[in-house]
């Protein structure tokens, strides 16, 4: 209600209107209350006082790093004490690998194999970095996944990595591995654009904690990769990021560039973020393996906030084991992010998947005809039919994103600087009409959901393909997605994936089952026919250039015409 009154407060300050009982009456629909004239008379003075105080707060500029004093934590985070963690991790296979015959094969190797080659000096970090830099530049015009290259930083890091490895100072399985960062992650010296044109030159001083930890692990940042504007979808100020398996369509989002570049063999791995599907969705579209860790497992410091109580940072890779190696390097408590805590994680896992209880939800397909469950049976797990909590208003709970995002981006919104924001402006403006009471009501319902979902997870170790994306983004449970099949229908390739969800902070068990499951698949080893797609793309580009070389009778510029092309 105060928010509605605030809409006329500015006019009142300019002497155009006074806040009286008639103004309050017009605003009552927001609170759902109908007051008497006597109640309105009493309320006028307190509303004016409240607005004056709120105006003082509005005059003080805040940044996204200024988190609310009340913050969300998973049930486990609230009951467990912080524990000291030891970062001991290694790949399951340690035999010396043979360098592939071609650079194409090399580019698509998982981190587990790339790190083996680098450690035994079958390839240098400099060679691998140059390979990925070249591929990024080659395929970016078609796929549009690069916002800014970090080539100078990458080459310096690669030279340093080779010297360290040669001298016997091997930092671990990410040492010398080139990677890409979703461009909401702050890297000093390079723009961090958040996918919107207003910030294409924004350079932040903060060093994102995830970037710092990967740097300490010896990984090499080669590019800042695209995200949909303010973490929505795959459209950003540079265009629409494309799917490597079918460049006629978008890569989905908002970790659009991270998934696309990884699937295209242009980085060894990448980092994405998820608030409501932004790792899972593009990974499903592009055929990558994506891990959305437990909320609070990985620090968000130095990354653009969209929703303080729902944002998660996680790896996008080519294999399940790769996600484990990256997670091991980046997880843990951080003094700059009060939600990040220490919880154990180990790899290789000392977990026997036989006997695990895996929950599935009923479908129209007969149980015996479900391929996803057949592999689980062969692995020796116990299948348990479950039902997700049918919580009232679960979709309404996702208004949290709009409410918190409206607070983050209020400065630009009020200044009408919202060009290129996709549909965020309307979402943020509508969120401003949700009262503080209703926000707390949503959070109270969310608390009920936490308990209901945790009660479900006490009956199983993991869920499979449970369509639990909204539930688990609200509760903070971890999920991993990986490709199970690459389909080819009339020359159009698409990906079918598996999604597994685990218990809070139990990524070790979750990834153990996912790794065992993926060992029965080959989809994650397939490579998109990028050069065939690129030939078609370049042919059409050349055709457009020829058409535009003459007089432009319609008055359109060359750049305008290219925007009108239907194929790309």
Q: How far apart are CA 422 and CA 356, in angstroms?
A: 43
C-beta atoms surrounding 148 within 10 Å: 16
Element (DSSP H or E) covering residue 473: helix 469-475
What residues have CB less than 8 Å from 448, skipping those under 6 apart? 391
Cβ(308)–Cβ(96) under 8 Å? no
User: Beta strands of 51-200 (E only): which ranges?
Assistant: 146-149, 178-182
In 395-423, which positions are buried (b, 16+ CB within 10 angstroms) versus exposed (e)?
eebbbbbbbbbbbbbeebbeeebbebbbe
Q: Which residues pair with 463 in a beta bridge?
A: 359, 501
Burial of 329 (0-12, 13-18, 19+ CB in 10 A): buried
Both tokens assigned to 93? 């296979």
Q: How far apart are CA 542 and CA 280, in angstroms?
A: 36
Write out the catalytic residue numbers: 182, 254, 278
Q: What distances in angstroms separate CA 334 from CA 9, 16, 70, 298, one per listed residue?
A: 41, 50, 17, 9
DSSP 493-531: EEEEEEEEEE-TT-HHHHHHHHHHHHTT--GGG----HH
Q: How far apart are CA 139 and CA 461, in angstroms?
A: 41
Both tokens assigned to 531? 């050069």
């Amino acid at each position: 209600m105060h928010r509605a009154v605030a809409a006329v407060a500015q006019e009142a300050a300019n002497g155009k209107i006074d806040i009286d009982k008639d103004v309050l009456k017009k605003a009552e629909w927001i609170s759902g209350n109908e007051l008497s004239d006597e109640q309105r008379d009493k309320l006028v003075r307190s509303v004016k006082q409240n607005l004056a105080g709120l105006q003082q707060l509005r005059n003080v500029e805040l940044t996204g790093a200024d988190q609310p004093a009340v913050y969300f934590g998973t049930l486990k985070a609230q009951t467990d004490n912080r524990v000291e963690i030891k970062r001991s991790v290694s790949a399951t296979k340690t035999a010396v690998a043979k360098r592939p015959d071609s650079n194409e094969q090399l580019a698509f190797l998982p981190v587990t194999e790339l790190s083996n080659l680098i450690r035994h000096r079958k390839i240098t970090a400099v060679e691998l970095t140059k390979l990925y830099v070249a591929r990024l530049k080659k395929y970016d015009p078609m796929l549009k996944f690069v916002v800014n290259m970090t080539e100078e930083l990458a080459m310096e890091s690669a030279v340093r990595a080779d010297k360290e490895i040669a001298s016997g100072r091997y930092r671990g399985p990410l040492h010398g591995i080139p990677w890409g960062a979703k461009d909401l992650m702050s890297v000093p010296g390079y723009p961090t654009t958040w996918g919107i044109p207003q910030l294409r030159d924004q350079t932040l001083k903060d060093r994102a904690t995830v970037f710092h930890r990967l740097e300490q692990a010896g990984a090499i940042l080669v590019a800042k990769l695209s995200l949909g504007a303010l973490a929505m979808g795959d459209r950003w100020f540079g265009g629409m990021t494309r799917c490597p398996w079918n460049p006629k369509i978008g890569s989905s989002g908002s970790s659009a560039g991270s998934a696309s570049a990884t699937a295209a063999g242009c980085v060894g791995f990448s980092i994405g973020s998820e608030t409501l599907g932004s790792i899972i969705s593009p990974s499903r579209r592009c055929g990558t393996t994506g891990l959305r860790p437990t909320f609070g497992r990985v620090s968000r410091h130095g990354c653009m906030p969209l929703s303080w109580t729902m944002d998660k940072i996680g790896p996008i890779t080519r294999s399940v084991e790769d996600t484990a190696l990256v997670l091991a390097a980046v997880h843990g408590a951080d003094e700059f992010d009060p939600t990040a805590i220490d919880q154990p994680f180990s790899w290789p896992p000392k977990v026997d998947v036989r006997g695990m209880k895996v929950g599935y939800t009923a479908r129209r397909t007969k149980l015996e005809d479900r391929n996803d469950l057949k592999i689980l049976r062969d692995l020796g797990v116990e299948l348990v039919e479950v039902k997700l909590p049918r919580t009232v208003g679960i979709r309404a709970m996702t208004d949290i994103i709009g409410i918190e995002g409206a607070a983050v981006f209020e400065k630009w919104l009020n200044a009408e600087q919202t060009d290129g924001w996709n549909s965020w402006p309307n979402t943020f403006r509508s969120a401003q009409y949700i009262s503080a009471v209703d926000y707390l009501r949503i959070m109270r319902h969310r608390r009920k959901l936490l308990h209901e979902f945790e009660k479900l997870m006490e009956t199983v170790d993991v869920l499979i393909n449970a369509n639990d994306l909204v539930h688990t983004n609200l509760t903070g449970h971890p999920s991993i997605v990986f490709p199970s099949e690459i389909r080819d229908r009339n020359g159009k390739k698409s990906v079918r994936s598996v999604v597994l969800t685990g218990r809070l902070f139990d990524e070790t068990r979750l990834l153990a089952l996912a790794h065992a499951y993926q060992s029965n698949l080959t989809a994650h080893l397939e490579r998109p026919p990028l050069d065939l797609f690129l030939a078609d793309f370049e042919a059409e580009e050349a055709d457009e250039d020829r058409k535009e070389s003459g007089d432009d009778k319609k008055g359109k510029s060359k750049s305008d015409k290219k925007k009108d092309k239907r194929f790309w």
